[in-house]
Amino acid sequence: MVYNINTGSGFYDPDTVDGGGGVVVDPDAPTVISTTPAEFETNLISDNITATFSEEMNPATIESPAVTFTIVKRDGAVDVPGVVSYSGNVATFNPDTDLVLNTVYTAKITTSVQDTAGNALAVDKTWDFIVGPANPAIVPLLSSGNYVIFSESLIAAADSTVQITGDLGMSPNDSTAITGFNLVLDASLDFSRPTPLSMVTGKIFASDYSASTQALLTTARTDRTGAYNNAAGRPVDYTDLGAGLIGGMTLSRGVYAWGSIVNMASDVYLSGSATDVWIFKTTIGINMSSGVRIHLLGGALPQNIFWQSAGNVTLDSTSHLEGVVLGATQITLISGSSVNGRLLAFTDITLGATTVVVEP
């Protein structure tokens, strides 16, 4: 067998050896096939930045001193000191100190890096990422999460065009505070259903039904209060963003808080993975303008989004909200608006004509 040693790298490259004893030249330039964090990703970075190559690389062209794999803080173009290592086709940049929260960084791997046959990257690999907050824990709804709508005082439907998927709960008020549904009590005395049935795909529970239903609702009410307080008490990552005017924004995971009303006059985008969590909390209230929508990007899920409001929450006509609303006062859906999530209120929930509420 003939072993071909690349004199530029000093490494034996099995890809350059012909089984018949001849020499096969490796002409292919290596590429970066993935990075952590990914391009434009917003994530917690207190650890390492990595790049995975398409083939085995020459560590001598990558490792410290870190001149071919660098990280720069974009604001001021400040180089980040750190140590670069290489193992198993992966180059790792380990910063000397944690990167700065809410800051854009640029990572770069230059064409000076080579594979074991001496082939260099064809072009520099450059990507940006943002250092974001740690992923918040889910707000624990516990048994209140069994209801798509839960109120202590009133659930009012404008007419039979309202469509709800999931169960409704009323406590401590009784079934007389559930209006517009034309309730028919089940023979079990545990729940009722609306007339027409198309209004609710689920069951309706009230505190004047069976003893077992009363007990379940009492627990759910306690759990709902606990969820509200849990969200309200979370440490804040972003304070008074946009002075409450968040229309047009793309928001990554984290805890957002406002001392003003949150106004969405245009569409809002929540970008993250299926495990990312958003908590929005305000001491005043939330308003969505007519036709405005929440868009979920990158796999974000409505059950991981929480809107905690000490004041009224209003969705204007044909607007669409994603997530769980934890309201201390009134939640109002004006005609044609919709929610993919839950409405859990201390006081009134009013549903205009053709409104739609679907549990996630």
Regarding beta strands 348-351 and 154-157, do their DSSP bridges make them parallel or antiparallel, or are they unpaired?
A: parallel
Strand order from edge to edge, sheet including 294-297 = 250-251, 268-271, 294-297
Predicted TM-score (pTM) of the model is 0.76
> Which tens digits make up the pLDDT trace of 318-327?
999 999 999 9
Residue 131: the pLDDT is 84
Is residue 75 within 8 Å of residue 134, measured between CB atoms? Answer: no
Closest CA to 328 of 344, 305, 340: 344
Check whether 20 has a pLDDT greater than 60.
no
The mean pLDDT value for 273-302 works out to: 97
Burial tier of 245 (Cβ tally within 10 Å: 0-12, 13-18, 19+): middle
Assess whether pLDDT exceeds 80 at residue 5. no
| Side-chain-side CA neighbours of residue 133 (13 Å) | 18
Residues 306, 243: Cα–Cα separation, whole Å: 19
Burial of 157 (0-12, 13-18, 19+ CB in 10 A): buried
pLDDT in tens, 289-306: 999 999 999 899 999 999
pLDDT band at 23 (very low <50, low <70, confident <90, very high): low
If one compares 79 and 281, the residue with the highest pLDDT of the two is: 281
Is the pLDDT reported for residue 43 higher than 90?
no
Q: How far apart are CA 271 and CA 253, in angstroms?
A: 8
Mean predicted confidence (pLDDT) in 91-95:
94
Q: Copy the structure tokens of residue 142.
A: 């516990």
For residue 41, name the pLDDT band (cuts at 50, 70, 90): confident
Where is average pLDDT lowest: 21-25, 118-122, 243-247, 283-287?
21-25
- In order of 7, 87, 281, 340, the CA distances from 71 in angstroms are 30, 19, 34, 40
Q: What's the rounded mean pLDDT across residues 67-90?
A: 90
Task: List, in order of start, the domains of the chain with CATH numbers.
Answer: 14-131 (2.60.40.1220), 142-358 (no CATH)
Q: Is the peptide bond before 14 cis (omega within 30 degrees of 0)?
A: no
pLDDT at 358 over 90: yes
Confidence band for 10, pLDDT divided at 50, 70 and 90: very low
Evaluate if residue 157 carries a pLDDT over 60. yes
pLDDT given for residue 15 in this prediction: 46
